[in-house]
A and B are shown apart, each in its own frame.
Chain A
C-alpha cells in the first residue's frame, strides 16, 4: 500500500472539521501511512469550475495532484466532489498529452509540473480495497447496532467509465463497509438519487435544491432509518443543514442525524461522539451510542 496525502477540500476543514478529525483517527487506527497535503486549494469544485473554464479547472486540479506527486504519495480525498474533480483531471492529464502540455505551461508560471505519477483515491474506495471488510471488522471495538440509510452520492461511482468501481444502479461496496461496523444498511426508495446539492444548484438555486433533498428525507424516514451515512461532505452539508433549511422553507421536520462514513467508523473503533464532532452537526445525533447500549 502506498502512502497517502490527505486532500481536505473546502467543506471538511472549513465547515465540518469533525470529519477531518475522524479521518485522521481512523487512518491511524488502521495503520495507514498518511500526511496532510500541505498548501492544497479548492479541488476546484467540478460542477461549477469545470463548467466555467476547463483550462482553469484542470490547472488548479493538476496543481493539487502535483503537490501529492512531490510527496511521492497518492491523493486521498474524503469528498465525492473533490474525487470527481481530481480523479477526472488526473485521468485527462495522463491520457491526453496535448492537454497535459497546455496545462503544464500554466504550471510553469508557479514552477510546478504535473508528471502523472500519483493516483487519486476516495476514502471509501480506499478502505474497501486496501483494508477490506474483514480488516475493518477485526478492528471494531464497539459494534454499532444501528439502522443506516447509506447515501453513496453521485461522483463516487459516476461517471462509471472513469471510475469502474461498482454497479451504478445497485452498488454494494459502501453498504458492506457500513455493515462492517455492525450496523445494518437498510433499503429505501430512490436510494441512488442525488442529494440535490451538486452542479452549483445548492449555491445558486437553493429552493430547488432543497426539494430534491426533501425527497430523500421522506424516503429515509419512511424506511425507519436511525441515521444517514454519506461519503461526501457536500452531501453531508445538504443532508444535515438542509434539514434545517427544509424546516424553515416548508415547515417539515425530519431530525435524522447525518454522519460521514469516517465518523461512523471512528465510533465503531471506540471513539466518542465528541471525538469526531457529531455535536457540531446541525441535526444533533443525541446519544446514539447510549441508545444502543
Chain B
C-alpha cells in the first residue's frame, strides 16, 4: 500500500476521524442486513489503518448512499468506500467479475454489450438493429479505446497487473 487509509481519506476531505461509531450507517445499510457488511467497522478499520483494502466488505456496498445521507456527522461514507476501492484496485485487488466488466468496456464500449437476442427484439420493436451508441459507430469505439489508453485504464485492468 502506498498510502495509509486514514491519510488517504483525510486528504480527500472525508473526515472519518470525526466518526462517533454510533452505528447509524450500519443500521440503515440494506446490504448489511443480508451480508456480513458492517459499514461502521470499515470506517473504524480505515481510521486505525488496518488492512481495509483486503476487506471483502468493501465490495458488498451497493452505493445506495443510505449511510451517507443518515450519518449525523455528515461523513461522506460511500465516497470514502469508493476511494478505498480505488486504492485496492490500484494495488491489484479486484474481483474477477469486475475485471470482466472493465474488459467489456475496453473492448466493446459497454459494460453490458449487445447480444443476438437484443438485436432480434430491437427489430421486432421497429428500432434499428444496432442502437445509436458505439455499437453503430466504430470510430466512436476507437475514441473510447484511445481515451482509456490515455488514462492508463487499459494497463490497470490488464491481467498481467493482477495479483
Q: Which residues of A contact B (CB under 8 A)?
A: 8, 10-11, 13-15, 17-18, 20-21, 36-42, 44-56, 59-60, 63, 106-107, 109-110, 112, 154-155, 158-160, 168-169, 190, 193-194, 196-201, 203-205, 208-209, 211-212, 215, 275, 277, 280
A204 contacts B98, C-beta separation under 8 Å: yes
Instruction: Name the contact of A194 in the complex, choosing from B64, B122, B151 (C-beta under 8 A).
Output: B64
**Pick from A21, A49, A59, A280: contact of B126, CB under 8 Å:** A21
B119 to chain A, nearest CB (A): 9
Contact B153 A52 (CB under 8 A): yes
Stretch at the interface among B15-23, B47-55, B101-109: B101-109
Residues in B neighbouring A51, C-beta threshold 8 A: 82, 85-86, 89
Cβ of B125 within 8 Å of any chain A Cβ, yes or no, is yes
CB distance from B52 to the nearest CB of A (A): 14
Chain B residues packing against A (C-beta within 8 Å): 30-31, 33-35, 59-66, 68-69, 78, 82, 85-86, 89-90, 94-98, 101-102, 105, 109-115, 118, 121-122, 124-127, 131-137, 139-141, 143-144, 146-153, 156-157
Do most interface residues of chain B lie in helix, strand or loop, or is the interface mixed? Answer: helix
Asked, given contacts A159-B69, A200-B59, A203-B101, whether A39 binds B134 with beta carbons under 8 Å apart, the answer is: yes
Task: Out of A42, A109, A154, name the residue touching B146 (CB < 8 Å).
Answer: A109
Nearest CB to that of A6 among chain B residues?
Answer: B132
Q: How far is the CA of A38 from the CA of B109 in the complex (A)?
A: 13
Chain B residues contacting A211 (CB-CB under 8 Å) are: 34-35
Knowing A41-B133, A42-B105, A211-B34, say if A168 contacts B69 (CB, 8 Å).
Answer: yes
Tell me which of A38, A46, A56 contacts B151 (CB under 8 A): A56
Q: What are the residues of chain B within 8 A of A41 when measuring CB–CB? A: 105, 109-110, 133-134, 140-141, 144
